[in-house]
A and B are shown apart, each in its own frame.
Chain A
Amino acid sequence: MDIGSAKMIGAGLAAIGVGLAALGVGNVFGSFLSSALRNPSAADSQQGRLFIGFAAAELLGLIAFVVAILILFVVKG
């Protein structure tokens, strides 16, 4: 298999990791929403932690995206 095709297949596989990040971020916000609807008065105090959790989950998905970009644009061939 020549390097060009291998790059395309590798980038496509790395992009699957970004879909997994979508699951993770949805999990964070979904948990926040379902518990916020049970206890609305306590929801605003936890908003900071919500965004910290979102940032952590998003980062790992963005790392998968960076791997795809590295394979496509940085590998020689």
Chain B
Amino acid sequence: MAAEAGAIDPMGQFRVNPILGADWSIAGHNIAFTNSAAFMVIVLVAMWVFMLGGMKRQLVPGRWQAAAEIMPDFVASMIESNIGPKGKRFTPYVFSLFMFILLANVIGLFPLAIIPGVHAFTVTSHITVTGILAIMSFSIVLIVGFLKHGFHFFSLFIPHGTPVVLIPLIFLIELVSFMVRPFSLGLRLFVAMTAGHILLDVFASFVIQGINSGTVIGPIVSLLSFVMIIGVSALEILVALIQAYVFALLTSLYLNDAINLH
């Protein structure tokens, strides 16, 4: 969309730009270090600093250790209540997933744009990233299901007590709703993050254009839009936490389907 005067460009914030030069390639594939990769590194460093700072193993935990212990306890209790004792081996995967998505969502909301030329990039606002996370979860579900149960895994699609006449139809319906799972998992996180950031960008454009408009009502619109930005940012922090929790929770539920079959 061409940016005429007064037009708003909410999608430019999602552009993946190479920093440090665009010409790095191995065997014809471009491997330039992008802002997306830079923010993934920031998420990784933040996760490491937070968890390693809390691993002092004091018997009476200090504040950092207590805070860092909340995270694995939370994930372990979620897996325990959704899968049962057989799910303990998946705790590292679900914990990594949960912490990565949580920190990626929240770091994307940092007000880094105060520094001119810098803006916070939400790693999970691209379907490439969330799609890969969803494909990883779904692949683990499929691999665990088929390794554990073999072809008996397909009995997942036929609930107990269905009339024999309906079994072909029910099997097809259940199969389709099962195959939609990776798409819905990745799409949910991607669109939640993208929609939130588009909303914030639109209100921010209102603020700038209100001040630049030169009318009397312009600054009033700017002030109201700024109040809305504060409210929507609070909501976005909540959505970031909820979407990370929902992704991990649904992964646990799908693993429960694969492990315990019914």
Contacts and interface: CB of A to CB of B under 8 A. Distances in A.
A65 interface: yes
A58 B81 CA distance: 24
Interface string B226-262: 0000000000000000100110011001000000000
B98 to A, nearest CB: 13
B242 A51 contact: yes
Nearest to A64: B191
Interface residues on A, range: 10 to 19
Interface of B: 1, 11, 78, 81-82, 184, 187-188, 191-192, 195, 242, 245-246, 249-250, 253
30 contacts: A48-B78, A48-B81, A48-B82, A48-B249, A51-B242, A51-B245, A51-B246, A52-B246, A52-B249, A52-B250, A52-B253, A54-B242, A54-B246, A55-B188, A55-B246, A55-B250, A58-B188, A58-B192, A59-B187, A59-B188, A62-B187, A62-B191, A62-B192, A62-B195, A63-B187, A63-B191, A65-B191, A65-B195, A66-B187, A66-B191
Interface of A: 48, 51-52, 54-55, 58-59, 62-63, 65-66, 72-73
